[in-house]
Structures are given as C-alpha cells and as structure tokens.
Amino acid sequence: MQEKNKNIDKFIRDGMNLESASLDFSNKIMSQIHVAETEKEKALSTILQKYTHEEPSVYFAQNILSKIEMSASSTKYEPIISKKVWYFVITFLLAIMIYVASFIEETSSQLKIVNENIHKIGDLFLFELPEIISSPVLALSLFALSSLLFLDYFFQNRKFS
C-alpha cells in the first residue's frame, strides 16, 4: 500500500513541475499577431481603394435643390375642414334661421317665446368655472409650465433660429 502511495506522490510531483517556455516564445507570438494585423490592414486598404469616394458633379447641389423646389411647389394646400362641410354648416344654419323667421309674427307673445328659446340655448353655453380654474395662481403655473416645455424643446433640438 505504501508503494502505491509513493508512486502516486511521485506522479503528482512530476505533474506539478511546470513546463518552461522557450526564451523567444513571446516574440514568436507577437510576430504572428503582427503578421495577422498587417494582412487585415492590407485587406481593408484594398476594400477602401475599391470603393473610393466619388466626387459629385459640378451641378449636383443645383439639381437636388431644383428637385426639392419642384416637389415643394407641387404640394397642394388642403384645409382640415373641407368646403363640403362648410357648405353643409352654412346651409344648416340658414335653414334654422329661415325656420325661426318663418314662424315669427308681429305679435309680442311669439317674440317672447323666440327670445326665451334663444336664452335657453344661450344658457347651455354659460357655466361657472370652479375657483381653482379661474385663479391667477393656476394661470401663472400654466404659463411657467408651458415656458419650460418650450425652452426644453429648443434646448434638446438646439434650434434657436
């Protein structure tokens, strides 16, 4: 048993002895790295020479600007609310006015009824706001907030003109 242990110990001691590298080992590795880098640089330079930057023609900027001007002049203004909708609104309002005017007689009782109906319609649009909404503190804070947002927009985009 002891003989087996001695053999195992000897085997372990022999395995623990580190191999020493030759003196020019690091030089050989560095030269291989240098050769690989020079090959990469040569390949990159050939690719760059193959796809060199071409100079644009003399009238390149003028051609581009003329195309931009042509596309900008061809843009047609289209309103958000079309003419058909405006015609419908005007026709509807005229129809209401004609309907109301056709039933008005010279008697004061009917004028009172029309006036009462007009006041009822007007009262639909009248309402009182709570105190907080009509306070000057809210107005100042909204102004300050909108000013800060406006400044933030311009500082982020660096557009001062």
Rounded to whole angstroms, how far apart are CA atoms 56 and 62? 11
In 3-state terms, what secondary structure has residue 80? Answer: coil
Structure-model confidence comparison of residues 33 and 72, the more confident one: 33
pLDDT category at 41 given cuts 50, 70, 90 is very high
Average pLDDT over residues 89-98: 90
d(C-alpha 60, C-alpha 81), whole Å: 40
Secondary structure class of 76 (helix, strand, coil): coil
Phi–psi pair at 40, nearest 5 degrees: -65, -40
Q: What is the pLDDT of residue 16?
A: 63
Estimate to the nearest angstrom the gap between the alpha carbon of 100 and the chain centroid: 52
DSSP 19: P
3-state secondary structure of 1: coil
User: Amino acid letter at 3?
Assistant: E
What is the per-residue pLDDT across 101-135, written as a single tens digit (0 to 9) for each? Answer: 777 655 567 677 777 888 887 777 776 767 777 77
Question: Given this model, what pLDDT does residue 75 score?
Answer: 65
